[in-house]
A = this chain, B = another copy of it.
Amino acid sequence: MKETGRVEAFSDGVFAIAITLLVLDLKVPTQPPLLAGLLAQWPVYAAYLISFAFILIMWVNHHWMLGHIVRVDGMFMLLNGLLLLGITVVPFPTNVVAQYVLTPDQNVATAVYTGWFLMIALFFNLLWRYAARGGRLLSKDDHEAGLARVVSARYRWGGPAYLAAFVLSFIWVPAALALSFLLAVFYALPHEMTLPGETASVRPAHPA
C-alpha cells in the first residue's frame, strides 16, 4: 500500500506539472492589432484544449488504476516510467500541431500529435495488462470479482481508436482532431463502470 502511495504521489506530480506547462505554448501575439492576432491563433487554443482533456483523463484513469493495485514491482515501475515519459512529452506535439496545422505540413503535424496519443494509450494498456494478468498486482477480491476482464475490455478500444485518429491524420485533419477530442470526453466518464456485486464507487446523493 505504502509503496503504491509513493508511486502515486510522484505520478500525480508529473501529471499536474505537465498539464500546467501546456500554457507555455500560448504565446502573446507580437504584432498589433491584438484582437486579430489572438483570433488568428485559434489552432493553438484547440490543441491546448485537446491536450488538457487528454492529460486530465489519463490522470483520472491512472489514479483509478493505482486505486486497485495493492503492490508494485520493478517491471511495474519501469512501465509506469514509460507512461510518465509519454505524458511529460505531450506539450511538444501539442506545440507542433498548433504551429503547423494551418500549413501544408498539417498532415505530418497531426500524425505526430495523434501518433503520440496512440503511443501513450499503448503504454497505458501495457501497464494495466501487466498489473492485471493473473491478478498479479491486484487485491484478491478484485481479482476474483473479475475486475481485470471488465476493465481490460473497456481499455481495449483505446488503442484502435487512437490508431484510427492516427490514420485519419493523413486523410482528413479535422476529423482526426475531432476524434481525439471525443475520445478524451468518452474516457472522462470512468465511473459508469461497476462490477457485478461491487458497490458503486460514487454514492448517490442523499435526498434533498
Contact = CB atoms under 8 A, between A and B. Distances in A.
Number of copies: 4
Contact of A77 (B71, B74, B81, B188): B188
Given A28-B92, A34-B109, A74 B202 contact: yes
Nearest to A98: B28
Nearest to A190: B74
Contact of A191 (B10, B73, B81, B134): B73
A23 interface: yes
Q: Which of A19, A191, A208 has the most CB of B within 10 A?
A: A19
Given A100-B34, A134-B208, A24 B22 contact: no
B35 A205 contact: no
B10 A12 contact: yes
Given A17-B17, A23-B88, A35-B105, 19 more contacts: A6-B12, A10-B12, A10-B63, A14-B16, A14-B19, A19-B84, A26-B89, A26-B92, A33-B105, A49-B85, A52-B85, A71-B205, A73-B191, A74-B188, A78-B188, A134-B208, A135-B208, A136-B208, A140-B206
Interface of A: 3, 6, 9-10, 12-24, 26, 28, 32-35, 38, 48-49, 52-53, 56, 59-60, 63, 71-74, 77-78, 81, 84-85, 88-92, 95-96, 99-100, 103-105, 108-109, 112, 133-137, 140, 143, 188-192, 201-203, 205-208
